Amino acid sequence: MSYTKGEITTSLKVGEIITFERAFTIRDVELFTDISGDEGIHHRTLDEQGRLVIQGLLTATLPTKIGGDNNVLARTMNFEFLRPVYTGDIIICEVKIEKYERQENNRTTIIASFLCKNQHEKEVLKGNFAGVIL
């Protein structure tokens, strides 16, 4: 596998809101369990509806998608986990760009806040992140 330094093709703007959604599967939870070592019984045992509780940090991969899409090197990330997320839930993530500014060192700083809700409009995760764009 080879890696190349990518160029930013779009410029984010202060106030811009980016929304996307995802549903996690049982296989996603199994893979994350293997990688993270987070093997809580609630991540390995199906509930009465045939679902697993998703690891909080797996849910937290939703807002980090903005970083991946825009070459962000994260400096801080703050997460507040508000309620459990289950396999099959559809999670809608809304990220708001709070700061996007070119610095003298030719780097761009970014600060964003985010809110994730499930398909029932219940808040499941909120927080913020900051970093620089490479």
Residues 6+ apart with CB under 8 A from 103: 109, 132
Whole-prediction pTM: 0.87
The reply to whether 3 falls in a domain is no
Q: What pLDDT is recorded for position 39?
A: 86
Average confidence (pLDDT) over 118-130: 98
Using CA atoms, how far apart are residues 119 and 111, in angstroms rounded to an integer?
26
User: 114: domain range?
Assistant: 17-23+55-133
Q: What pLDDT is recorded for position 40?
A: 87
Using CA atoms, how far apart are residues 111 and 129, in angstroms rounded to an integer?
6
Percent of residues, the chain, with pLDDT higher than 90 = 75
The reply to whether 117 falls in a domain is yes
Average confidence (pLDDT) over 55-75: 92
The reply to whether 92 falls in a domain is yes
* CATH number, domain containing residue 86: 3.10.129.10
11-62 residue pLDDT tens: 789 999 999 999 999 999 999 999 999 888 988 999 999 999 999 999 999 9
The reply to whether 95 falls in a domain is yes
The reply to whether 82 falls in a domain is yes
Task: Provide the residue type at 99 as one letter.
Answer: K
The reply to whether 30 falls in a domain is no
Total domains in the fold of the chain: 1
Q: Which helix (H) or strand (E) holds 66?
A: helix 61-69
